[in-house]
Structure 1
Amino acid sequence: MRATLDLLPAAAACAPVTRLDRARLEDAFELACLVRATSPAANGGVRTVHPRRAALPAGMVEFNGEAAARRMGQLMRALHLPFAHDVAEAGLRRRYRLHRVSVPGAHRDAYAELSAAAWRQGRASVLSTAAVGTSAPAHAERLRLAGAAWRAVLLSAGRHMRKHILGVRVSEPDLATVLVRGAHLLGAQATLSPQAGSLLLSVPGAAAHRILQGAGALPA
Structure 2
Amino acid sequence: MAYSDQKMSGSKVTALVIVALVHLALGYAFVTGLATNFVKKQVEKLNTFDVEEPPPPPPDEPPPPPPDIPMSPPPVVSPPPIVRNPNPPPVVINTTPNPPPVYVPTPVVAPPAPPAPAPAPPAPPVVSKAAGAKGNPADWISTDDYPPSSIRAEEEGTSVIAWTINAQGRVENCRTTSSSGSSALDQAACRAITRRGRYSPATDAAGNPIATTATRRVVWKLPQN
Which has the larger Rg? 2
Query: Do these two structures clear the TM 0.5 threshold for a shared fold by scoring above it?
Result: no
Taking structure 1 as the reference length, what is the TM-score of the superposition? 0.16
Taking structure 2 as the reference length, what is the TM-score of the superposition? 0.16
* Structure in which a larger fraction of residues adopt helix: 1
